[in-house]
Amino acid sequence: MSANFYYGIEVFLNGMMAGVLYSLVALGFVLIFKASGIFNYAQGVMALFAALTLVGFQNGQIPFSHLINAVFGTNIHHFGWHMPAILAIIFTLMVMILFAYLVEKYVLKHLVNQEPIILFMATIGLAYFMEGFGDLMWGADIKKLDVGIPQGGNVWLEENTAFLGGPDFYGFYLDNLDMWATVCAGLLVVSLVLFSQYTKTGRALRAVADDHQAALSVGISLRAIWVIVWSIAGFVALVAGIMWGSKSGVQFSLSLIELKALPVLMLGGFTSIPGAIVGGLIIGVGEKMFEFLIGVPFLGGATENWFAYMLALLFLVFRPQGLFGEKIIERV
């Protein structure tokens, strides 16, 4: 086998790992959409906000320090301690749960039974509010996020696979961070599925996703469920924020990862958890392989930016309900 074949495999594996990260973001959308019928425009910003908060806790940043300094003329920035990553993650998670609670209390509660488009608008507002609020709270500068996940290529793997492809092949180059992200995302998805299938709250979540009225009649509190769903979505956003933030720093552009999730949703369907996962993998692998096989040799590269949308568009034409979405049958 030629070295190119093995590089092809390497591209494939990298695509898989990128795809897992796309799935992770898409998952946040799907969870909220299923439970409350809301397309949550703020999902990307939630990831940014979670990452900012995490960095803030880790570095002992004082929240709103700019504001405080401007108003009181002080010059404080740090508490002066450095928090261990695990503790910071737990605190951030608590903030995300608090956030979910506040969203329910001050936004969703007042919008029960409104048109989906109104709810969508509300999440747009929420997104811009959070973006500004995050800046105000933690500052707008680019931050480095390090929770201890090893970064850079995995040397061991590279050295031990070099023999495969002859003299022109130097072994598989896979990023440690990507591999970690894949494992974490996998664990997250499995535990979410188990939770929703085998616990009473999971069953209540599915019940609410299925039929609001029926859920009320068996004594499920919609508001409690919404807080739980938004908390889980916040947790997913946190994981996505950690992975993407570790990779390319915590900055505004982090919120744009949701643009990567959109084609995944089109492909996988807005209501399907397996759809989000498989869709993410297809897009990840598809765009990397397309770039490697066709983009670079024939089109001058940079196909990654639009390939996912092309694929999603094609898909919409042939299977509008998505990969695993329920088939819409209109009986005449």
Residues that bind other proteins (CB under 8 A): 194-195, 198-204, 206-207, 209-211, 213-222, 228, 326
CB under 8 Å to 6, separation ≥6 — which residues?
161, 164, 165, 169, 172
* Least distance (Å) between residue 24 CB and other proteins: 19
- Cα–Cα distance, 327 to 145 (Å, whole number): 42
- Of the pair 79, 195, the CB lying nearest other proteins is at 195
Beta carbons of 61 and 83 less than 8 angstroms apart: no
The backbone torsions φ and ψ at residue 130, rounded to the nearest 5 degrees and listed phi first, read -65, -35
- Of the pair 159, 211, the CB lying nearest other proteins is at 211
Annotate 67-101 with b (16+ C-beta within 10 A) or e (fewer).
eeeeeeeeeeeeeeeebebeebbebbbebbbebbe
* Least distance (Å) between residue 32 CB and other proteins: 17
Secondary structure of 51-111 in HEC code, one letter for each residue? HHHHHHHHHCECCCHHHHHHHHCCCCCECCCCCCHHHHHHHHHHHHHHHHHHHHHHCHHHH
Contacts 24+ apart (CB under 8 A), 204-209: 205/35, 205/229, 208/35, 208/36, 209/34, 209/35, 209/271
* Least distance (Å) between residue 192 CB and other proteins: 11
- Of the pair 68, 207, the CB lying nearest other proteins is at 207
- Of the pair 220, 267, the CB lying nearest other proteins is at 220
* Least distance (Å) between residue 236 CB and other proteins: 15
* Least distance (Å) between residue 143 CB and other proteins: 31
* Least distance (Å) between residue 198 CB and other proteins: 7
The interaxial angle of helices 3-36 and 257-268, nearest 10 deg, is 80
- Of the pair 215, 237, the CB lying nearest other proteins is at 215
- Of the pair 117, 332, the CB lying nearest other proteins is at 332
* Least distance (Å) between residue 322 CB and other proteins: 15
- Of the pair 63, 202, the CB lying nearest other proteins is at 202
